[in-house]
């Protein structure tokens, strides 16, 4: 499957443009994490020399070591092993074959299992399922439908980016236009490096995202997740009080443009999770540019507040790190975690497929803050 993706990329104008440095045998730009990691690892030289050096260094054998702690659980007669990735967030669910146990072709799936997985997902924010590479893309869509409405590539259907700057949405997936392909290879390395929640520049950002790894580097390319409940809890009390009534402006990137317009949305700074009723910090510096003008926050104070919030991003205590392998699926709650790819795997290939999931309940899609925890009207 991955070979076909990269064969198709050869004629993709955006891919051809982005491989210009590779054609000139120029090293990766050190202003990107991928380039700085490669420079730090390598003795230097031309791009091809650096790639050869790193590939030789990463010529790894496969081994299985260590002890794993997990919580056993039996659900719908299936023995599961629940492996926490970190104390507060992230669980790898072992023991499931999603195609078999959720009977993905059956419109009436195993309700007990779905209810269990949703409760676990709300509690742990991130679920991972290993060894699911046998799932077709159609089956991924069917699995995602157990959790919500499968959205367009960036969530709500009215926003379809048509910018020439990003490859992902320009690669057509036959029969599945909602799927976003995220390819990265030696010539055009790519990784969403930087803490963000997906498409918060939408008025009604997606509830969840699902990633399937089809091709993993032997080392690197992990995705890290950061708990937004912890980020809110960790702010000083006076900051919480100061920002409680503020909203912030979320601005999309070049690649999210539609008809040359950059999408923008204004959302509350603290957000009430519409299912748990708990408060998250809904500011991530990937897309948030400023507090809304109507609040008239003085420039110095705004800078200080945003910096305080930025320091919450990626604190080790709030994060978990997911190591990918072909067939690993991750499902995360965009309302409760930030995520970032680790752009450290060049010159290896990493090929991912993403689906975006909207809440079944349309009334819960627009972010809001209700300090007492009551739900949206």
Residues at the interface with Fe ion (CB under 5 A): 192, 198
HEC letters along 165-188: CCCHHHCCCCCCCCCEEEEECCCC
| Nearest approach, Cβ of residue 359 and Fe ion (Å) | 18
DSSP state of 130: -
| Nearest approach, Cβ of residue 126 and Fe ion (Å) | 13
> What is the token pair recorded at 261?
């317009």
Residues near 287 by beta carbon (within 8 Å), at least 6 away in sequence: 196, 200, 201, 250, 251, 252, 253
Helix, strand, or coil (residue 366): coil
Closer to Fe ion at the Cβ: 110 or 190?
190
Tell me the DSSP string of 33-85: HHHHHHHHHS----HHHHHHHHHHHT-PPP---S----EEEEETTEEEEEEES
Half-sphere exposure of 163 (CA within 13 A, CB side): 17
Half-sphere exposure of 54 (CA within 13 A, CB side): 28
How many Cβ atoms are within 10 Å of 359's Cβ, its own excluded?
20
| Nearest approach, Cβ of residue 182 and Fe ion (Å) | 9
Closer to Fe ion at the Cβ: 196 or 348?
196
Handedness of CA 177, 179, 184, 185 (dihedral sign): negative
Closer to Fe ion at the Cβ: 91 or 200?
200
Closer to Fe ion at the Cβ: 104 or 211?
211
Closer to Fe ion at the Cβ: 178 or 198?
198
Closer to Fe ion at the Cβ: 185 or 198?
198
Closer to Fe ion at the Cβ: 117 or 192?
192
How would you label 253-282 residue by residue, b for 16+ Cβ within 10 Å and e otherwise?
bebbbeeeeebebebbbbbbbbbbeebbbb
| Nearest approach, Cβ of residue 68 and Fe ion (Å) | 27
């Amino acid at each position: 499957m991955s070979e076909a993706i990269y064969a198709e990329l050869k004629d993709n104008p955006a891919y051809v443009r982005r491989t210009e440095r590779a054609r000139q045998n120029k090293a990766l730009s050190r202003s990107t994490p991928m380039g700085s990691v490669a420079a730090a690892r390598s003795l230097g030289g031309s791009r091809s020399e650096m790639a050869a050096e790193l590939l030789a260094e990463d010529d790894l054998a496969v081994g299985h070591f260590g002890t794993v702690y997990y919580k056993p659980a039996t659900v719908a007669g299936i023995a599961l092993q629940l492996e926490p990735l970190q104390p507060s967030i992230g669980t790898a669910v072992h023991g499931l074959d999603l195609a078999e146990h959720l009977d993905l072709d059956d419109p009436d799936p195993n309700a007990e299992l779905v209810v269990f997985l949703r409760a676990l997902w709300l509690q742990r924010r991130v679920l991972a399922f290993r060894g699911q590479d046998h799932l077709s893309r159609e089956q991924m869509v069917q699995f995602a439908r157990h959790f919500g409405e499968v959205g367009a590539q960036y969530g709500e259907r009215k926003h379809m980016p048509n910018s020439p700057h990003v490859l992902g949405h320009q690669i057509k997936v036959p029969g599945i236009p909602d799927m976003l392909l995220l390819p990265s290879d030696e010539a055009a390395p790519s990784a969403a490096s930087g803490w963000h929640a997906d498409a918060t520049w939408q008025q009604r950002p997606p509830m969840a995202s699902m990633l399937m790894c089809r091709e993993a580097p032997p080392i690197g390319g992990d995705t890290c997740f950061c708990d937004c409940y912890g980020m809110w809890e960790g702010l000083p009390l006076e900051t919480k009080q100061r920002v409680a009534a503020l909203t912030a402006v979320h601005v999309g990137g070049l690649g999210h443009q539609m008809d040359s317009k950059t999408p923008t949305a204004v959302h509350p700074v603290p957000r009430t999770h519409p299912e748990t009723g708990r408060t998250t910090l809904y500011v991530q510096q990937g897309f948030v540019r400023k507090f809304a003008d109507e609040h008239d926050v003085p420039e110095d104070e705004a800078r200080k507040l945003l910096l305080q919030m930025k320091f919450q991003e990626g604190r080790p205590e709030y994060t978990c790190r997911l190591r990918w392998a072909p067939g690993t699926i991750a499902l995360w709650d965009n309302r409760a975690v930030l995520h970032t790819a680790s752009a450290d795997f060049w010159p290896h290939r990493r090929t991912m497929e993403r689906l975006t999931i909207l809440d079944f309940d349309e009334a819960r899609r627009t972010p809001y803050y209700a300090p007492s925890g009551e739900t949206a009207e």
